[in-house]
Structure 1
Amino acid sequence: MSIFISPMMAVIGTRGKNDIINAVPVPESELKKRNEELEKELKESKEREEQMRRQLKITWERLRVAEDAEERLCSQLGELEAESVYHARDYHGRIVSLMDQLSNAQSLLHKALPSSSTSS
């Protein structure tokens, strides 16, 4: 599309090989009005773009905070897992020790009971 402006009128149309096709004369006041509309749309578009940039920055910051929190949680989870393994091993060792004590006590009782029952 080409725009040709005269002092009082303008012509808007498409250009071919040195020919103006579908040329429509447009008064200068309409061109100014259209220009103002386009400038207003451009300003609104820039404002929307700036708002989107601010929202993107806020979202980016929230993502960074969430990633930091995730790293801390993973670290804490790892520490808790290591501590639970330590406690499980400790409890297992205590259970084995108690089972050995119980086995020894049962063995002693078993040895003591037959001798006391035979003497009676």
Structure 2
Amino acid sequence: MAPSISIGTAAPSSSAGVNKKSAAGVDEAELLRRRNAELEREVAALRLELGAARRRAETAEEAEERLCEQLGDAEVEALELARAYQAQVQALAAELAAARGARADR
């Protein structure tokens, strides 16, 4: 005769299985609540950081606009000075030519 093999299954008692599942579910839910609260704090911190970065960017843009305006004013002033200097040099050159011409006539 061949030996017989029996496979037995252990059936957990109904109250022990439910308690373990509900305890595991409560622990998992608590873990998820904690993780969610942690993530919400991180999001709040990132929003504050983003707001600060936006304010810095706006300040930098305003400063850039002021610098561009000042540069434009400086360029206009430099051009006016260069034209005035060139006119003065031309006037002096004409005066020198006139003086040399009067000297040559003697």
TM-score range, shorter chain: 0.7 to 0.9
SS of the equivalent of 2:85 reads: helix
| Counterpart for residue 54 of structure 2 | 60
Higher helix share: 2
SS of the equivalent of 2:105 reads: helix
1:39 aligns with 2:39: no
TM-score in terms of structure 1 length: 0.70
1:78 aligns with 2:61: no
TM-score in terms of structure 2 length: 0.79
Match of 1:95 among 70, 89, 95: 89
Higher strand share: 1
Unaligned runs of 5+ in 2: 1-14
Q: CA RMSD in A?
A: 1.9
Give % identity.
27
Unaligned runs of 5+ in 1: 1-6, 11-25, 113-120
Shift of 1:109: 2.2
Aligned length: 92
Q: Comparing both chains, which one has the higher relative contact order based on Cα–Cα distances under 8 Å and sequence gaps of 6 or more?
A: 1
